[in-house]
Amino acid sequence: MDEALIKRHFPILDQEVNGHPLVYLDSGATSQKPNTVIDAISTYYKEYNSNVHRGVHTLGTMATEGYENAREKARQFINAKSTSEVIFTRGTTTSLNLVAQSYGRAKVHEGDEIVITPMEHHANLIPWQQVAKLTGATLKYIPMQEDGTLSLEDIKETITDQTKIVAVTHVSNVLGTINPVKEIAKIAHEHQAVIVVDGAQSTPHMPVDVQDLDVDFYAFSGHKMLGPTGIGVLYGKQDLLENMEPVETGGDMIEFVGLYDSTWKELPWKFEAGTPTIAGAIGLGAAIDFLNQVGMDEIHAHENEIATYALDVLSEVEGISIYGPKKRGGLVTFNIEGVHPHDVSTVLDAEGIAVRAGHHCAQPLMKCLNVSATVRASFYLYNTKDDIDRLVEGIKKTKEFFGHVF
């Protein structure tokens, strides 16, 4: 992969921050956008801005085609069987809440079990806490190994015939752990449970085939995969979605409305009440085009190379604790002994290096790690080994600034 050529597609990366060339290492929070995505959104607003599905005029038809073409691109990207299984949402959080509120509350009862992991983002933890409280179900956690992985033995022991839902992240946003989702799905199905997967940190970075994984629900966000904010996808198996009630009601999701009763449109529109994020969907479609042009296998291999290099060079810096397994997604989370993560981020920012510091919406995981916060450097297709070298130099300056010499 030609990183220099890739980088030229991202205008925001061609700038200085605090007098230094920008090194953006926060793609786990949100990715930067290529010109093609920016242009696609701009073109929609300049040339065919209109609402979708409701109008028969030319602009309305163009907007509807752009919106639904994006759905087909998303279907192909994750290899869903049908566009009926691809629901546009505001993002991963909305998608997971939709499953929890519509499927979870209807299917989970007192005495049932919901199984999750300690490494979940709050978006795939709090909704299940709420379902458990409302239904009287038991929330169970698959134990996590010291290196931040899950063992198949623990998974098999935790999931039982009382388990109705297994909710798990595909890739941890803190540890970079790549969970064995296909194997977990098989175990869940052996107990007649459904599996719900948070794909926010996997879909942008590796090939995802929902049919091969055999997951029941899979959620991801556009803004983490070169697309705009405010757009995401919930994939669900059609037979499950057809038997779920919509969480939001109103315009565009109805078939017939009477004075005392209403009926819903067919999938996927019965879950898309109101005016959708049309520009966001069109932007997501353009982002998928860009990712396909580069190639997801190539992106995954590139990030593996960058993450491996980062682990190697950071491990040589004294006074650094690195969290997570050796085999991981494209991120490294660490702490510097005696320096608060927010202070690390502040000093790095002064050097033009953008990283994330905090609990990363994973407070239970922080407790497991016996820390209150960490620093996370997350990578994408536009990052290079030179970016990692800049990070290491910035860490050394941080240590010098706070008087830590190891």
Active site residues: 361
DSSP string, 141-200: E----TTS---HHHHHHH--TTEEEEEEESB-TTT--B--HHHHHHHHHHTT-EEEEE-T
End-to-end CA, the chain: 37
Q: Residues of 72-106 as b/e, b for ≥16 C-beta within 10 angstroms?
A: ebbbebbebeebbbbbbbbbbbbbbbbbbbbbbee
Q: How far is residue 199's CA from residue 215's CA, in Å, rounded to a whole number?
A: 11
DSSP string, 234-301: EEE-HHHHHTSPPSS-STTSEEEE-SS-EEEPSTTGGG--SS--HHHHHHHHHHHHHHHHH-HHHHHH
Pairs from 189-193 (Cβ < 8 Å, separation ≥ 24) = 189/214, 191/159, 191/160, 191/161, 191/163, 192/161, 193/115, 193/159, 193/163, 193/164, 193/165, 193/166
Could you identify the residue written with the tokens 């990052």? 383
Fill in the DSSP letter of residue 88.
E
